[in-house]
A and B are shown apart, each in its own frame.
Chain A
Amino acid sequence: MSLSSLVIPVLLAGVASFGLGKRVDVYGALTHGAEAGLTVLLRVIPALVGLLTAVSMFRASGAMEWLSGLFAPLLERIGIPPETAPLMLVRPVSGNGALAVASDLMYTYGPDSYVGRVAAVMLGSTETTFYTIAVYFGSAGIHKTRHTIPAALAADLTGFIASALAVRIFFGT
């Protein structure tokens, strides 16, 4: 038994007991949340069908490797596996696109491979930057965004480098 197999049962039991102690309808909240999760998924499926079709054509044609190879010299210098180049390109633009590319990487290289783990951590530690900026500034009526975009992209780039670094620290290559 490893420590990480303790986390999920303890978290489930802990949250449920804590909630019941506070007189919360734990089961009702659980199923209500699961329903919300299903709604989110339903909205994602059409995008995934479109994107995974394009992504797997892109990989089968050899274009994916070509794209990764294009950035390989630069990426290897900063310690990022070049296979993740397509993920980094699509991440700031489309959340579903990033999900499709990352899942393609996890299926192709294995979820427990170095590339698969880096792809997962990149997906978890960054956001759909341009979409977020458009939504916030659009609804607040801002036209001059000043230094927001460069600062947000600096955060993304740092997140990508840090993802590769963190996977090397916790799992090795």
Chain B
Amino acid sequence: MAMAWVWTGMVVLSLVFGLLTGSLDAVANAALEGARSAIDLSISMAGVLCLWSGVMEVMSACGLSASLSRTFRPLLRRLLPNACRDEETLAAISANVSANLLGLGNAATPLGIRAAQRMSRGCGGTASDELCLLVVLNTASIQLIPATIASVRAAAGCRTPFDILPAVWLASVLSVAAGLTAARLLSRAGRSRP
């Protein structure tokens, strides 16, 4: 429903601004142009997007996501010690993290949900510190190869669409670190209050 408000708000504001600034001709044109450009964009990003989805599939067929998820286990044991005492939860979480890294969002979400369901057992509807941490980890994107963005850049005429990777990695690491730190600090602050 949120998007219904956002969409209506944008269209109504455009009409109001168009009337006030006398740019109604441009607004009318833009509506048709926008719809056309959505298909243009989709067609021109389709190739790169499909290629990278294919490469990701090859990587995961080679067992790359399985070995990635093994690499993350020691780190996750330290980050979420209680949840990781349960071997099956640990498996789900580490597979969730590695699927996120490879940009396999469709695979990551069900794995993360399975972990969240196991972690929320017997908590009476209140999120534990570790469950908050897992969700924060999932809301902060960690992606090795952001294929969708690269394909939009390519569609917009960029000749080196992947040159932003180091910048994306740096920004992602800082954002994840900030999320984890904030979760730690806030959980402590919440507990000291009665």
Contacts and interface: CB of A to CB of B under 8 A. Distances in A.
Contact of A144 (B45, B126, B174): B126
Interface of A: 2, 4-5, 7-8, 11-12, 15-16, 18-19, 22, 24-26, 29-38, 40-41, 44-45, 48-63, 66, 90, 93-94, 97, 99-100, 102-103, 106-107, 110-112, 116-117, 120-127, 129-130, 132-133, 135-137, 139-148, 150-152, 154-159, 162-163, 165-167, 169-171
A15 B62 contact: yes
Contacts of A150: 182, 186
Nearest to B114: A139
Interface string B98-133: 000000001001001100110110010111000110
A123 B140 CA distance: 11
A94 B38 contact: no
B50 interface: yes
Interface of B: 2-3, 6-7, 10-11, 13-18, 21, 23, 26-27, 29-31, 33-35, 37-39, 41-42, 45-46, 49-59, 61-63, 106, 109, 112-113, 116-117, 119-120, 123, 125-127, 131-132, 134-136, 138-141, 143, 146, 148-149, 152-153, 155-158, 160-164, 166-168, 170-172, 174-179, 182-183, 186-187, 189-190
A165 B166 CA distance: 12
Contacts of A124: 141, 143, 146, 149, 164, 168, 171-172
Contact of B62 (A22, A63, A90, A103): A22
B58 A146 contact: no
A162 B30 CA distance: 32
A52 B23 contact: no
18 contacts: A11-B55, A29-B58, A37-B51, A41-B50, A45-B39, A54-B10, A56-B31, A62-B21, A99-B152, A106-B153, A123-B149, A126-B140, A142-B116, A142-B123, A146-B127, A148-B183, A156-B175, A159-B141
